[in-house]
Amino acid sequence: NAGVMQNPRHLVRRRGQEARLRCSPMKGHSHVYWYRQLPEEGLKFMVYLQKENIIDESGMPKERFSAEFPKEGPSILRIQQVVRGDSAAYFCASSPEAPFYEQYFGPGTRLTVT
């Protein structure tokens, strides 16, 4: 049973470009969460999605950030017009049923904005 997959593992973007981060949850998992980790910081919740629905996006910056989890395909975290402050590790997690039980994390995407 493959774990949570994220790609790319490393992404370099220039200021003003768009970043697209992909997450494929574990087989049978229908809940996806995105977290951001800044240097020397813990994991900050960004958004919680179920198939085709955003359940909680209270941790998402109001502008430039969006997330989706379509019926088919991976979940996408999209950052438009990236700035240097967006440089961080972005982790995706999935869980099999009701939320806030054990979440299983992917390896993360390290975004560097130059």
| Footprint of another protein (CB under 8 A) | 4, 6, 33, 35, 40-45, 48, 55-56, 58-59, 91, 93, 100-108
Q: Rounded to whole angstroms, what are the CA distances from 31 to 6, 65, 77?
A: 15, 19, 14
Provide the minimum distance between the beta carbon of 45 and another protein in the complex, in angstroms, as a whole number: 5
User: Which of residues 48 and 65 has its CB atom nearest to another protein in the complex?
Assistant: 48
Give bridge partners of residue 66 from the DSSP assignment.
Answer: 78
Is residue 84 helix, strand or coil?
A: helix
Distance, in Å, from the CA atom of 79 to the CA atom of 88, rounded to the nearest integer, reads 12
- Shortest separation between residue 21's beta carbon and another protein, angstroms: 13
Closest CA to 52 of 78, 32, 79, 28: 32
> Which C-beta is closer to another protein: that of 14 or that of 39?
39
With respect to another protein, which residue has the nearer C-beta, 58 or 71?
58
Closer of 40 and 63 to another protein (Cβ): 40
